[in-house]
């Protein structure tokens, strides 16, 4: 038995090495994002007053009275995750920047969103901006969530209900609420490539604490 023990231990160790090696194999190793290859969009609407609590020097926080603003239109994969930065050599032209500034609250945000997300749309800059414009126009902000001058409090499920009431086409799993600590940060609406409302894919879900969350007043 003593003679067989080293052989048995060697066999067990070899199995361990095989198992560990397989576990460390990366998933989708070497796969580069391809512009236009994605499943649906997330339209991210940021509650500007919450952003301004920690970014007081940002130009959107200079008393402009913003409520919800366009954070971005993000290509997404249904299985979870998203493509990003599909090209780093596609700067915006003056005309595209002018168009973008009618949609995004700041030039910095516009350029970041185009570089990270827009380049993966496969639409070109003006096409992406036009799609963002149409997506914004398709979503009606509920009256109780229009800009206000004192703090309001809602539960995340109530915010979802308000958006679905104002936009009857939004599915129960087609909108998510994102919080930053106890404050409302974003509302994310899922849309297909034709910008019709659709269900969200894996990974897009509400991220807020239970109970009421604070919606800060406009600045």
DSSP class of residue 207?
Answer: B
Q: Which strand (E) or helix (H) includes residue 8?
A: helix 5-23
Output the average pLDDT for the chain: 87
pTM (predicted TM-score): 0.84
The CA angle 33-38-40, to the nearest 5 degrees, is 145
Q: How far apart are CA 214 and CA 50, in angstroms?
A: 9
Say what the pLDDT of residue 62 is.
Answer: 84
Q: How far apart are CA 130 and CA 33, in angstroms?
A: 22
64 — pLDDT class (breaks 50, 70, 90): confident
Say what the pLDDT of residue 136 is.
Answer: 98
- Asked if 212 and 43 touch (Cβ cutoff 8 Å), the reply is no
Q: Is 50 exceeded by the pLDDT of residue 8?
A: no
42 — pLDDT class (breaks 50, 70, 90): very high
Domains, the chain, ranges and CATH?
A: 40-215 (3.90.730.10)
pLDDT in tens, 135-164: 999 999 999 999 999 999 999 999 999 999
């Amino acid at each position: 038995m003593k003679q067989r023990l080293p052989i048995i231990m060697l066999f067990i160790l070899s199995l361990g090495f095989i198992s560990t090696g397989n576990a460390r194999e990366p998933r989708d190793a070497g796969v580069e994002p391809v512009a236009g290859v994605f499943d649906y969009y997330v339209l991210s609407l940021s509650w500007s007053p919450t952003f301004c609590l920690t970014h007081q020097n940002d130009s959107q926080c200079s008393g402009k009275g913003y409520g919800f603003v366009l954070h971005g239109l993000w290509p997404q994969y249904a299985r979870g995750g998203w493509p990003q930065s599909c090209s780093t050599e596609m700067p915006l032209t003056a005309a595209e920047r002018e168009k973008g500034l009618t949609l995004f609250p700041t030039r910095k945000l516009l350029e970041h969103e185009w570089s990270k997300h827009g380049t993966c749309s496969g639409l070109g800059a003006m096409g992406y901006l036009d799609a963002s414009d149409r997506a914004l126009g398709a979503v009606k902000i509920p009256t109780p969530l229009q800009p206000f001058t004192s703090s309001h409090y809602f539960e995340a499920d109530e915010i979802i209900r308000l958006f679905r009431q104002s936009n009857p086409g939004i599915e129960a799993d087609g909108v998510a609420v994102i919080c930053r600590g106890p404050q409302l940060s974003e509302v994310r609406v899922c849309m297909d490539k034709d910008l019709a409302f659709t269900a969200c894919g894996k990974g897009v879900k509400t991220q807020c604490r239970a109970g009421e969350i604070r919606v800060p007043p406009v600045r």
